[in-house]
Amino acid sequence: MNLLSFDNVLQDPTYYVSEIYSYGFQDVADGQHIFRNIQPRGSHDEFAKFVSKLFPDYKVEFNFVRRSPLNQEEPNFIHSDEMMGDITCILYLNEMCPVDDGTTIYDQDSNPLVMVYSKFNRMIAFNSDSLHSRNLFENFGEGESARLIQVAFLKYKK
Per the prediction, the chain carries an average pLDDT of 95
Alpha helices in the chain (DSSP H): 13-21, 46-54
Q: Kindly report whether the global pTM for this prediction surpasses the value 0.85.
A: yes
Helix (H, G, I), strand (E, B) or coil at 16: helix
pLDDT of 31 higher than 80:
no
Q: How many domains does the chain have?
A: 1
> Could you read off the pLDDT of 105-135 as tens digits, one per residue?
999 999 999 999 999 999 999 999 999 999 9
State which residues form the domain around 13.
3-156
Our CA angle for 43, 48, 50, nearest 5°, is 145
pLDDT of 52 higher than 80:
yes
Helix (H, G, I), strand (E, B) or coil at 52: helix
Would you say 72 and 154 are in contact if contact means Cβ atoms under 8 Å apart? Answer: no
In this structure, what CATH number is given to the domain that contains residue 125?
Answer: 2.60.120.620
> Could you read off the pLDDT of 62-109 as tens digits, one per residue?
999 999 999 998 888 999 999 999 999 999 999 999 999 999 999 999
Our CA angle for 105, 109, 114, nearest 5°, is 20
What local confidence, expressed as pLDDT, does residue 29 receive?
Answer: 87
